[in-house]
């Protein structure tokens, strides 16, 4: 029944990539995912294999040592990885967003310097936008960068960095003094190199420790404290001060496609577990999948898995084609996250009491799914973006 998430129009090379990742997930991820999750252990061995498979260079141009694949291929790979363990998709997500930002907005020197190392997985990346009191109001960023000769000096506190410790490159959004009357034009994106690990990983830059979470284990989520951290001016993304908000929003659309793909992968795995259990568990003389209440629930779950996948594919293709895709990415993220939550909960209900046991995989998915409702913007933020664009741009009388 993998036709639920089959995708039309793929090349044979794309299908080969997906088969390779799917086989890798079945053989090397699913058998250890719950153990790593319960230990909250970073999957070093799996990450090494991802490097060997070329996943870190999936979308990076061939001239820099990558595979040069499309955003659609990336999203479908994320879906396969999230089916095995959602944390793996987090490890590559910010890496891909930063690679996209550098490829789309970086100078030639920045592209030549970073992209080959990123394609090989030698440099792995984090994205830093959120702050402790920020919420969704990006224009209210307080972390400040002041120009000092050939450098910028940055001070402030950042929050919710995925890969904050394991990364060696952070794309960070800070306030500068480009246009005081236009808050969004007062933000600048910086490419900050650091050593992996916790503590002071660069002069003036400290990663305090891991934030402990309900789910989404293994991948490190951290704060970032900057205290007069000196960054060369040539590490402003694109050497374009004041353009950071627009650059980051472009990258966040990539991130929303990623979160949609994660939702698709987690929902598919929850559905697979539900079907397997419904075929093996017997009550009243027959397997529970033959009871109408369960078969109807499975039908609803399969429909949601398929609808979310198709929406995610549409958004990925739209973004890959160029131009603004905030509506499509927002719709895909919103729908896939909500459907994922519903499918996972229905799968847990089908498992009954066993679903509440840590010995069963569905318990892990039940803890992972809520992160998708929040990451890259809540449902409310997505609906606000979609609604505003519809009011502004939808043809009158249509």
Q: Tell me what pLDDT residue 147 has.
A: 96
Nearest-Å Rg of the Cα atoms of the chain is: 21
pLDDT bin (cut points 50, 70, 90) of residue 208 is: very high
With a cut of 90, say whether residue 133 has pLDDT above it: no
> 138 Cβ partners below 8 Å, 6+ apart?
129, 173, 184, 187, 245, 248
The whole-model pTM stands at 0.94
> 25 Cβ partners below 8 Å, 6+ apart?
80, 81, 83, 84
Q: Tell me whether residue 272 is one of the annotated catalytic residues.
A: no
Here the contacts of 7-14 (C-beta below 8 Å, separation 24 or greater) are 7/72, 7/76, 7/309, 7/313, 10/76, 14/69, 14/72, 14/73, 14/76
- Of the chain, the percentage scoring pLDDT greater than 90 comes to 85
282-324 residue pLDDT tens: 889 899 888 999 999 999 999 999 999 999 999 999 999 887 7
Of 81 and 4, more confident: 81
Burial class of 373 by CB neighbour count within 10 A (0 to 12, 13 to 18, 19+): middle
Burial class of 75 by CB neighbour count within 10 A (0 to 12, 13 to 18, 19+): buried
Pairing of strands 125-128, 169-175: parallel
pLDDT bin (cut points 50, 70, 90) of residue 183 is: low
Q: Tell me what pLDDT residue 180 has.
A: 60
d(C-alpha 43, C-alpha 209), whole Å: 18
212-261 residue pLDDT tens: 999 999 999 999 999 999 999 999 999 999 999 999 999 988 999 999 99
Q: Which residues of 29-67 are buried (b: 16+ CB within 10 A; e: fewer)?
A: beeebbebbeeeebbeebbeebbebbbbbbbbbeebbbb
Q: Tell me what pLDDT residue 6 has.
A: 87
d(C-alpha 42, C-alpha 220), whole Å: 7
Mean pLDDT of 387-391: 91
Averaged pLDDT score across all residues of the chain: 93
Q: Quote the tokens at residue 62.
A: 């061939």
Of 126 and 288, more confident: 126
140-173 residue pLDDT tens: 899 999 999 999 999 999 999 999 999 999 999 9
Q: Which of 99, 90, 29, 98 is nearest to 68 (CA)?
A: 99
With a cut of 70, say whether residue 179 has pLDDT above it: no
Mean pLDDT of 45-71: 96
Q: Do 177 and 244 touch, CB atoms closer than 8 A? A: no
Q: Tell me what pLDDT residue 306 has.
A: 97
pLDDT bin (cut points 50, 70, 90) of residue 109 is: very high
Catalytic residue, from 80, 253, 328, 376: name it: 376
pLDDT bin (cut points 50, 70, 90) of residue 393 is: confident
> Helix 361-374 to helix 86-105 angle, to the nearest 10 degrees?
30
Q: Do 232 and 297 touch, CB atoms closer than 8 A? A: no
Q: What is the DSSP letter of 236?
A: B
Q: Which of 107, 89, 190, 209 is nearest to 141 (CA)?
A: 190
Q: Quote the tokens at residue 114.
A: 């970073």
């Amino acid at each position: 029944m993998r036709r639920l998430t089959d995708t039309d129009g793929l090349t044979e090379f794309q299908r080969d990539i997906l088969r390779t990742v799917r086989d890798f997930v079945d053989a090397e991820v699913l058998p250890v995912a719950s153990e790593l999750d319960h230990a909250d252990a970073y999957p070093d061995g799996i990450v090494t294999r991802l490097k060997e498979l070329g996943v870190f260079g999936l979308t990076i141009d061939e001239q820099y040592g990558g595979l040069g694949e499309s955003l659609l291929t990336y999203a479908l790979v994320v879906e396969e990885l999230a089916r095995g363990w959602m944390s793996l998709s987090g490890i590559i997500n910010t890496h891909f967003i930063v690679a996209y930002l550098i490829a789309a907005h970086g100078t030639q020197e920045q592209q030549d310097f970073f992209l080959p190392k990123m394609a090989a997985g030698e440099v792995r990346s984090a994205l830093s936008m959120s702050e402790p009191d920020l919420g969704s109001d990006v224009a209210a960023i307080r972390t400040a960068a002041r120009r000092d000769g050939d450098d910028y000096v940055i001070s402030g506190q950042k929050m919710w960095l995925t890969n904050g410790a394991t990364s060696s490159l952070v794309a960070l959004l800070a306030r500068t003094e480009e246009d005081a009357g236009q808050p969004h034009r007062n933000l600048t994106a910086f490419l900050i190199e650091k050593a992996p690990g916790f503590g002071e990983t660069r002069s003036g830059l400290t990663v305090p420790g891991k934030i402990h979470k309900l789910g989404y284990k293994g991948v490190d989520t951290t704060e970032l404290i900057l205290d007069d951290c000196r960054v060369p001016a040539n590490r402003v993304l694109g050497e374009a001060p004041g353009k950071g908000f627009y650059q980051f929003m472009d990258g966040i659309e990539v991130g929303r496609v990623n979160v949609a793909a994660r939702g698709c992968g987690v929902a598919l795995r929850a559905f697979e577990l539900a079907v397997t259990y419904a075929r093996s568990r017997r009550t009243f003389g027959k397997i529970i999948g033959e009871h109408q209440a369960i078969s109807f629930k499975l039908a609803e779950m399969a429909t949601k898995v398929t609808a979310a996948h198709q929406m995610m594919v549409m958004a990925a293709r739209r973004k890959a084609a160029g131009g603004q895709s905030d509506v499509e990415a927002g719709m895909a993220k919103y729908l896939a996250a909500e459907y994922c939550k519903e499918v996972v909960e229905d799968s847990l209900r089908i498992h009954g009491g066993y679903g509440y046991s840590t010995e069963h995989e569905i318990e892990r998915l039940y803890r992972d799914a809520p992160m998708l409702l929040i990451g890259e913007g809540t449902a409310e933020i997505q609906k606000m973006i979609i609604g505003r664009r519809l009011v502004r741009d939808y043809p009158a009388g249509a």
